[in-house]
């Protein structure tokens, strides 16, 4: 796992940082930065050629920050991702293009600072560290008129050189970090960063839907294999006990049979409640036969006519089918409860860009998400599906709810 270099990590434990591979990465970053600053210094008097070099340098800098453990810097937006010389006007008229030119100039400043640090800091450190070896070549370490040629004195000078080297490495790390952060601010594309955030959030949204669906299946399984099975066993034992009791004396039957029947009825009601809860999580017909069969079943169970129109049967992902069915169920329930509708229409169409679900009733209209949790729940489910939802419900009706799902919700090669 790479260690990300930050000011906080340098302040928190500087000695630990210095004994890690990070200083070597900082040296490579600083040395490569000095080399890349040379073309900028050469092209600076030839300003018309500087933009092309700065755009090329930005491409390198977006990856070079990885040397010190940072993530690469997002590139330019899609219209600017062609070679710079093929789209010079667009690059010159974009804010990012001029920020990249400024980034090249700032890079030159950091290159000069790094060069100065290396000339004075590294030269001084190496001179002090090599002091014990000077007597081997017949020379003594001298500072002005003061000469040190004793082994103890030269070793102390070498230890001082190690301290200077540590200070140099630490200063190089600080300089590298400052350059990386400044580069990210100057040449980072806000559009690409936002696109990356959107991609990340979309992935988290899909993971959330999958996790929710997995948890729902676990609850269904636990309810079916746990309490439902135990209650069914208890009902069976009560039925056997009732059968045996009927063979006894009438006075025993009169005393015990009503209690057994009441207990059996309570168990049956508990079983019905559990079955309804499981069905509310996800109907068995939706699990076994898919969304289209579940919508047909929903239409058949409705007390008012529900017209189902499906242009091209397709299978969606399980989590998507469950959410779409919940949206349809919520819409039908709201229509029956609030709109006074006499007919509901459910239309499911497949387009090249995705799937469109249209729900319509001929009720009184006036549906407002701010006045009901049902429509808010529909909107939340549509958002989790990365879908686009539209509601049109004028006063007096009708009410139309449209949901467009992206193409990725369709199972590849699957049909209903």
Query: Please, what are the averages of pLDDT over each run of 10 residues along the chain (416 residues)?
Result: 54 69 85 90 80 81 83 65 58 75 89 93 85 67 63 79 88 88 79 59 62 67 66 73 69 67 74 63 72 85 87 71 83 84 87 81 81 71 78 86 76 46
Quote the pLDDT of residue 117.
93
Quote the pLDDT of residue 392.
86
CA proximity to 338, closest of 399, 266, 257, 276: 399
- Number of residues that this document lists for the chain: 416
CB 391 within 8 A of CB 369: yes
Quote the pLDDT of residue 194.
61
CA proximity to 304, closest of 326, 328, 276, 332: 332
Quote the pLDDT of residue 111.
92
Q: Which residues contact 34 (CB under 8 A, 6 or more apart)?
A: 111, 114, 115, 118
CB 205 within 8 A of CB 384: yes
Mapped onto helix, strand or coil, the DSSP state of residue 348 is: strand
Q: Which residues contact 282 (CB under 8 A, 6 or more apart)?
A: 216, 217, 220, 322, 325
Quote the pLDDT of residue 114.
92
Note the pTM of the prediction, 2 decimals. 0.45
Cα–Cα distance, 140 to 131 (Å, whole number)? 8
Cα–Cα distance, 142 to 359 (Å, whole number)? 92
| Tokens 């070679």 sit on residue | 83
CA angle (234, 235, 240) in 5-degree steps: 95
């Amino acid at each position: 796992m790479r260690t990300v270099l930050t000011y906080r990590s340098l302040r928190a434990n500087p000695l630990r940082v210095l004994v890690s591979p990070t200083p070597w990465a900082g040296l490579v970053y600083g040395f490569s930065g000095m080399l890349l600053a040379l073309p900028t210094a050469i092209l600076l008097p030839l300003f018309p050629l500087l933009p092309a070099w700065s755009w090329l340098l930005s491409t390198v800098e977006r990856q070079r920050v990885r040397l010190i453990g940072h993530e690469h810097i997002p590139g330019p937006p899609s219209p600017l991702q062609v070679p710079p010389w093929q789209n010079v006007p667009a690059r010159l008229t974009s804010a990012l293009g001029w920020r990249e030119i400024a980034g090249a100039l700032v890079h030159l400043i950091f290159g000069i600072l790094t060069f100065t640090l290396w000339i004075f800091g590294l030269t001084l450190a190496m001179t002090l560290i090599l002091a014990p070896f000077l007597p081997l070549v017949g020379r003594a370490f001298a500072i002005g008129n003061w000469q040190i040629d004793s082994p103890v004195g030269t070793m102390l000078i070498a230890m001082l050189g190690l301290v200077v080297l540590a200070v140099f490495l630490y200063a190089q790390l600080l300089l590298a970090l400052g350059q990386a952060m400044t580069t990210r601010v100057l040449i980072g594309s806000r559009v690409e960063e936002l696109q990356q955030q959107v991609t990340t959030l979309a992935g988290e949204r899909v993971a959330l839907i999958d996790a929710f669906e997995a948890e729902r299946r676990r609850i269904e399984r636990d309810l079916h294999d746990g309490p439902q099975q135990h209650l069914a066993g208890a009902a069976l034992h009560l039925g056997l006990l009732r059968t045996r009791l009927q063979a006894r004396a009438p006075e025993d039957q009169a005393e015990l049979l009503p209690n057994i029947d009441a207990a059996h009825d309570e168990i049956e009601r508990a079983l019905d409640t559990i079955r309804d809860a499981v069905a509310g999580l996800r109907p068995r017909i939706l699990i076994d036969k898919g969304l289209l069969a579940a919508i047909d079943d929903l239409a058949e169970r409705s007390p008012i006519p529900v017209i189902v129109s499906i242009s091209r049967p397709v299978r969606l992902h399980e989590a998507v089918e469950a959410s779409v069915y919940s949206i349809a169920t919520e819409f039908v329930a709201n229509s029956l409860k609030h709109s006074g509708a006499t007919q509901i229409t459910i239309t499911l169409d497949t387009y090249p860009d995705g799937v469109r679900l249209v729900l319509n009733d001929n009720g009184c209209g006036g549906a407002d998400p701010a006045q009901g949790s049902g429509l808010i729940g529909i909107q939340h489910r549509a958002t989790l599906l990365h879908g686009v939802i539209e509601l049109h419900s004028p006063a007096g009706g009708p009410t139309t709810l449209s949901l467009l799902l992206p193409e990725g919700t369709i199972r590849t090669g699957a049909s209903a």
